[in-house]
Amino acid sequence: MPVDATYLRTIEHWRVRFESVGVPGSSIDSVVTNLDDWSDWPQLWKQLGDKEVAYAVDQEERGHDITASAGWYRAGLYYHYGLFVLFDNEPVRSQLVDAKLAAFSNAFRGMHPGVEQVTLESAAGVLHANVRRPDTSEPPPVVIILPGADSSKEEYVGFEDLLLDRGLATISVDGPGQGETRHRGVGWRFDYETAFPAVIDFVRSSDELRTDGIGLIGFSFGGYLAPRVAALCPEIIATVSLGGCFDLSGWDDLPPLLKADLMYLFEIPDEEEVRRRATDEVTLRDSLPGVRGDLLAVHSTADRIFSHQNARAMKELKPTTEVVIYEGGDHCCHNRSHHAKPMMADWLADHLG
């Protein structure tokens, strides 16, 4: 499929997101410049990743551990974003995911505070998660972080840093169907939340985390998943939904690439079936009234993925919901992240501290 204007618009949309987690603008430029056909996308990112791995290995040999860690992290991001339009070639996809996970694992070795990679036995199967703790004398409160339809737990290192700076520990989780958890065999379920009592159990059994009052934040489609998890787990006292949806009743109007993401996430290749199930089963109608803790719904007026009306819909069903809408903000407020991210981190710290 040749690169057309719609897709270039998509890439420009992604640019802010990619840059906000550490992809250099010059790397995005090099992919865009060399992109003749959409099918080149994974390979172009893989080339960047391979080059960055060689750089990281070289830096490690020179004893430059901090520099090497940053290189490994960029390599992981390159491989990860190479997956973004790759739905129909599982062998290539699997190879990229392996490279991505290896790169991120290497990156984590050199990060401060450190990243502990854990597996959690849940009702849905084994979850993969990253745990980080701030340098505090008392056991810190913890925030659970949920990715969206195309993201995975490793993308949140920068946001984790904001929470860690504010004295909060973090657990970024690939839930059923997401990232490493799916890669290792645990697929999506519409009752995604059933996996999360295992995460709560992990917190409660830890001597190094405060067990009363857990926080939760979900990004993008994770902003839909978060209230479902909060409704099932009463230990969660503060939940942030960023750029999420209330339901998928507007399926027909979703951007084509998001539909492809969701079809891949749900593992439903049939267009009529996915439309029906997404419309029927993706909704906060039954969950929101069960959310006992505080809820903050953050959205943007210029979100082209999910309208900010989704945040209003949450407030309608749960009137205590705090709604913050960024004027001119894009999906997940990436172009307002200098204000939106600290705001959410402070909100969580204020509620859990």
| DSSP designation for 185 | T
Number of H helices and E strands in the chain, helices first, is 13, 8
74 binds a second copy (CB under 8 A): yes
Burial readout 88-101 (b: 16 or more C-beta within 10 A, e: otherwise) = eeeeebeebbebbb
* Minimum CB distance to a second copy, residue 103 (Å): 15
Residues 6+ apart with CB under 8 A from 300: 243, 308, 325, 326, 328, 329, 330, 331, 332, 333, 336
Distance of CA 67 to the CA centre of its chain: 25
Altogether, the residues listed in the chain come to a count of 353
Residues 6+ apart with CB under 8 A from 100: 49, 76, 79, 80, 83, 154
328 binds a second copy (CB under 8 A): yes
Kindly tell me which of 74 and 182 has the beta carbon lying closer to a second copy.
74
- Range 41-70, binding a second copy (CB under 8 A): 55, 59, 62, 64, 66-67, 70
Residue in 4, 165, 267, 270 binding a second copy, rule: CB under 8 A: 165
111 binds a second copy (CB under 8 A): no
According to DSSP, the β-strands at 169-174 and 125-132 are antiparallel
Site size with a second copy, rule: CB under 8 A = 26
335 binds a second copy (CB under 8 A): yes
Kindly tell me which of 136 and 279 has the beta carbon lying closer to a second copy.
136
Residue 270-309 contact track with a second copy, rule CB under 8 A, x = bound: ----------------------------------------
25 binds a second copy (CB under 8 A): yes
Main-chain phi, psi angles of 153, to 5 degrees:
-55, -25
- Range 3-22, binding a second copy (CB under 8 A): 16, 19, 22
Chain residues in the site for a second copy (CB under 8 A): 16, 19, 22, 24-26, 55, 59, 62, 64, 66-67, 70, 74, 165-166, 328, 335-339, 342-343, 345-346
